[in-house]
Structure 1
């Protein structure tokens, strides 16, 4: 049954994206197992279980259909917010599976109530921080100048901006 769900997700993504300028967002990446206390919970999972159970559906959907976007989940995986996880956003999705779209946070992931860090989202390869508050922008700018115990390289911010622009320019219809 599980393999069938993965195949359906890939097929739906391909079908939707046949329409020029339309894309899908697959979510919630990854280990989103509960609704209560999602920002505070940490799914503790072995590398093997993570790869074979929790990430396999995302891997198949990405490799077979290249969705336009991935939305990270609120929770942590092994103590790291998914939106701040370089291993999930860049290593697995982009480098291993060839994901070429954008990665975005869920809405208000970076709030003060145990949420993730906007600067760490960018460093992890998470392109859009939703909704992008003044606090998020300030944190990112401070991290670029290594203030307030955070550090963000300009090349990471530039890479995110480039992916967003590529999505915009390859998705627009000029007909």
Structure 2
């Protein structure tokens, strides 16, 4: 695998830095190996991304994004076809 060679070039500190990140939403770039920082998002029912004054509590506004009903809400619809359609997206 081509990534194994890249991982083998990383120091222990560089590997650990990928686990802690640059900040709450971004991974730390490793410029020496041309590994860019990546912005992460969350959202168990779609996507949530915070820009600007991002915080981990979700107190500041999120960027408009996709949001699906929760699994419990879909299950309570008793509409198997609807659940299948949502699952295809």
Taking structure 2 as the reference length, the TM-score comes to 0.27
Q: Which structure shows the higher helix fraction?
A: 1
Q: Which structure shows the higher strand fraction?
A: 1
Larger radius of gyration: 2
